[in-house]
Structure 1
Amino acid sequence: MTAPRTRVQRRPVHGVVLLDKPLGLSSNDALQKVKWLLRAEKAGHTGTLDPLATGVLPLCFGAATKFSALQLDAPKTYRAIARLGQTTTTADAEGAVLQERAVDAAQLTADNLATVAARFTGAIRQIPPMYSALKKDGKALYEYARAGETIERPARDIFIYGLKIAKTQDESAQPAIEIEVTCSKGTYIRTLAEDIGQALGCGAHLRSLRRTETGGLGLAQCVTLAQLEALEGDARLAHVLPADHLLQGHTPITLGAEDAARFLTGLRRRGPWADADAVAVYADQPRALLGVGHIHAGELIPDRLLSPLEIQQILEGMSRPS
């Protein structure tokens, strides 16, 4: 006879866990594991990392889920290894080999790699890969690709803020390049690696990918799944950072009690503030995040607000003995 499953008693958890996502795990699987470990009621992530990618994955809980889109739109930095001389159906190590070509060592000098990097820096256009979750007529492109169909994809505008390319070898000691790139939302690193390989005259495909930063949040602040699993119960909550860790670059504004109460109801407030597109708004006493907004012509305008219950639960959690 099968024993009945123990039902996990959920609780309100508010904040963000910066997870160093392990290899082979989908972003949603990673989220669900951490949600279970924390016994959290509400959770979401800030954009997916492929199962073959590792690195910084901000996981949002409770009130922090209201700010997850800010990280989705933020610039991201990756470190990748691409094998040269070989292209695949998926532009990465999972696909079947399409073509093999010789690698010309003369193309891999530091000067030439810098020249190629310059070609792919700044505003560029990129054709999304067939093996992607983009939709066409309600169906993901990878579904068409698995059925042997190729769908015409319009090029998309992306921005490469910084790109470095260096000669290296992959895990099998084959000729490869190391790519370090900071890019805009919507950039496919697989496609970038493939395009760089084409520019080098030999083709390439991605062998490994690691996200090292997203929106100012880096690996140094991350915790691994193994580290969380090794902790007991409430000790895991020490790795839940305040929600305003997602508000990197926001201008902080502090309101007195009366203005804070009115702001929380969605009312605009006037004050001696300079125009700002993104502000993080706090109550003075007790110090508490109220939400985010923007300032125009001296007027503070709410965009996303925490609820009074969320604020109360956050303050109670701060006062609880660790």
Structure 2
Amino acid sequence: MSIPAKQNDKIKVSGVILVDKPYGLTSQQVVSKVKYLFKSPNHDSKKAGHTGTLDPMATGLLPICLGEATKFSHYQLDADKSYQATILLGGQTDTGDAQGQVVATASVPTFDAAALEQLAQQFLGAQQQIPPMYSALKKDGKKLYEYARAGIDVVREPRDIIIRSIRLTALDHEQIQLTVTCSKGTYVRVLGEDIAKALGTLGHLTALRRLQVGSFKVDNAITLSALEDLPLAERFTQLMPIDACIEIPAQMTLTAEQCQRVHMGQRLNVSAQLTDELQAYISQNIRQSASSQVVEATAAHETTVSNTALASDVPVDIRLLDEQGQFLGLGAVSLNGRLQPKKLIQR
């Protein structure tokens, strides 16, 4: 349970809650409901947000950040996500799912488990995907689905995505179950359409459920109805800590004086607090960051980057704790011992 903080004579609700989103509600409607369920004359729950939109038709895991936890929600926005979907073959809809209108039909070829396994392998790895018109992405300040509803088709740039794992299972002669783990920005509706086309037909999703976001799993989520049935005091037991979205293992404990200084935005010299373990962690992250920037570089350039990779002034994010073990926020520390406060919470 997160430690609440006083604000404007009210306790500011802070933490992360995993909600099993029901069918039919938008992600923002779920956030609004959660805010309401944590609100009271003594509690302020105005600040809240989710870590990645689910379509109204979709169900499953929706992590919601409240209060100070919203500062770290982007760590889950960037996380890989896992889904299970049902693809109905033989018809394409304008939205890519069952909520749209059928715009084209095609015959469904016969297929077996071996064919589906071979097909799945074609979709593994890095690739590009064109976002659907029925999406919340914006073009010239207007959401794409607004253009789509007006009958306007907008040119969309392809986006880089990665399919980490994929499994296709036949449910019957015209339905396939898709289980996939993918990078951020992947539209499962588009993936379903592409799989159908690769089979030589058309298709759309009739069901979509998110199973996992980063290390969060839907098995640990609570439904809105179950949350509503709990007394207010017990709802707080469902809150995970403020830093639950952060998957950074490295941490440093600061003295009381150092805590005061970082809260004033001051940099610190923490050379004496850089353990061998911390130094190894910083060096490893610097190398990984440098390596990702030179995948297509020349050998000469790689040598230059390799020398730069161990530069003592390159900062790496770590957790900051006080002497009582409470989470303070994030700081960026370099091998030369310079610590810059980055995102700190208020208690």
Give yes or no for TM over 0.5.
yes
Structure 1 residue 303 corresponds to structure 2 residue 308: no
Identity %: 44
Residues 248 and 319 in structure 2, CA contact (< 8 A), matched pair in contact too: no
Equivalent residues in 2 for 1:244-259 (5 A)? Answer: 244-259=243-258
What's the CA shift string for 1:186-205, capped at 9, x where partnerless?
11110010001100111110
User: SS state of the match for residue 85, structure 2?
Assistant: strand
After TM superposition, give the deviation of residue 110 of structure 1 in Å: 2.3
User: Deviation per CA, 1:267-318, whole angstroms, max 9, x where unpaired?
Assistant: 234232321544222112x2211001333214333221112xx2xxxxxxxx
One-letter amino acid of the structure 1 residue matched with residue 319 of structure 2: A
* Counterpart residue number, 2:146: 143
1:50 and 2:55 correspond: yes
1-structure distance, mates of 2:268, 2:73:
23
Secondary structure of the 1:290 match is: strand
Distance 1:70 1:227 in 2: 27
Aligned partner of 1:127 in structure 2 is: 130
SS of aligned partner of 2:171: strand
Residue 268 of structure 1 is matched in structure 2 by 268
Question: Which residue of 77, 83, 100 corresponds with 1:78?
Answer: 83
CA deviations over 1:224-274 (Å, ceiling 9, x no partner): 111111111212111111112111244233233333333333323423232
SS in 2 for 1:236: helix
> Cα distance, 1:64 vs. partner?
0.4
Within 5 Å, give how 1:33-182 maps onto structure 2.
33-39=33-39, 40-105=45-110, 108-169=111-172, 175-182=174-181
Give the alignment of 1:201-220 within 5 angstroms: 201-220=200-219
Contact 1:165 1:177 in 2 (8 A): yes
Alpha-carbon offset, residue 210 of structure 1: 0.7
User: Matches of 2:15 and 2:80 in 1, distance apart?
Assistant: 21
Give me the whole-angstrom Cα distance separating, in 1, the residues matched to 2:189 and 2:268. 45
Secondary structure of the structure 2 residue equivalent to 1:245: coil
In structure 1, what is the Cα distance between the partners aligned to 2:217 and 2:158? 30
1:17 aligns with 2:17: yes
1:280 maps to which of 303, 314, 319: 319
Pairwise CA distance, 1:111: 2.4
Residue 65 of structure 1, CA deviation: 0.8
Corresponding position: 1:290 with 2:324: no
Question: What is the CA-CA distance between 1:104 and the residue it aligns to?
Answer: 1.5
Q: State the one-letter code of the partner of 1:78.
A: Y
Distance 1:99 1:67 in 2: 43
- Within 2, Cα distance between the matches of 1:299 and 1:76? 35
Superposition deviation, residue 46 in structure 1: 1.5
Q: CA deviation at 1:10?
A: 6.1
| Counterpart contact for 1:269–1:301, Cα < 8 Å | no
SS at match of 1:243: coil
* d(CA) in 2 for partners of 1:254, 1:20: 35
Gaps of 5+ in 1: 1-8, 311-322
TM-fit CA distance, 1:17? 0.9
Letter aligned with residue 175 of structure 1: E
Distance 2:263 2:153 in 1: 50
Distance 1:262 1:144, change over 3 A: same
Q: Aligned partners of 1:21, 1:269: CA distance in 2, in Å?
A: 45
Cα 1:98–1:235 shift into 2, 3 Å: same
Letter in 2 for 1:143: E
Instruction: Tell me how many residue pairs correspond in the alignment.
Output: 293
Match of 1:74, as an amino acid? Answer: A
